[in-house]
Amino acid sequence: MNEFLAHTRDWAVFFDVDGTLIDIAATPDGVVVPNLLLDDLLKLERIVGGALALITGRGIDFVDRLFAPHRFAIAGLHGAEWRERDGHTMRPPADPQFSKVKAMLQHWASPLPGVGFEDKGAAVALHYRQSPAAADTVATLMDRAQAMAGSAYGLQTGKMVIELRPRADKGEAVARFMQRQPFKGRCPIVFGDDVTDESMFEAVNDLGGLSVRIGNEACQTKATTRLNSPEHVRELIKAATV
């Protein structure tokens, strides 16, 4: 991290949100942006000349509500949604069949104690953090939903969650940003905490940047370094802006 702190202005910075910038909550809607985080992110965004983006499994609209009133450059739904720094936004087209799949999945999940249904618009997730024993049942339901949705959609596992979403890749999202101003020509650094972030780590490693895995659990990762918690990420952001 010393290199990042010593030459902050030279970097392009990418953050996952849940489990990286903010602490994971018991329910998807329970997450909270800590006091001063938005101010510190805005300071960091200015320092790096605007070359800061959020790369998240959340939808853009949800993230905008979290960080209101500011709107960051963002790749939402793992890159299926996209907004550049100038505000230009791309979203997947409406899919009536997928809407039917979401309704069916909600019906299947509703009687399962501790299983949470999250409608992300162009994606959908079942969370079982409050019912770990439901993991196999959730996996079976999501397999059925994916078969109904078709080949344009894929399953993504995460921390006590399985998501059905348009096929997209966080690593490709980072690479796309790095081809555009103000990111182009900078050294990338990416922060993430989950298996969904491994493609980002790989993409940034290939570009000669720095990849940072958040969390101290033992696991295989392509990240080149670690920080223990979102709190440590927030402390690093503050240190980079003083």
Model confidence pLDDT, tens digit, residues 170-227: 999 999 999 999 999 999 999 999 999 999 999 999 999 999 999 988 889 999 999 9
Domain spanning 96-166: CATH 3.10.310.40: no
In DSSP terms, 104 is beta-bridged to none
> pLDDT averaged over the chain?
94
Catalytic one of 16, 40, 193, 197: 16
> Between 193 and 159, where is the model more confident?
193
Residues 88-130 pLDDT 10s? 999 998 899 999 999 999 999 999 999 999 999 899 999 999 9
Pairing of strands 52-55, 11-15: parallel
| Domains 2-91+168-240 and 96-166 are alike in CATH topology | no
Q: List, edge to edge, every strand of the sheet that includes 124-127.
A: 116-119, 124-127, 161-166, 153-158
Query: Are residues 208 and 13 in contact, defined by beta-carbon separation less than 8 angstroms?
Result: no
Instruction: Assign domain 2-91+168-240 to a CATH class.
Output: alpha beta
Whole-angstrom CA distances from 74 to 77, 79, 83, 106, 242 are 10, 8, 5, 28, 25
Domain ranges of the chain: 2-91+168-240, 96-166
Q: Is 23 a catalytic site residue?
A: no
pLDDT value of position 94: 86
For residue 70, pLDDT beyond 90? yes
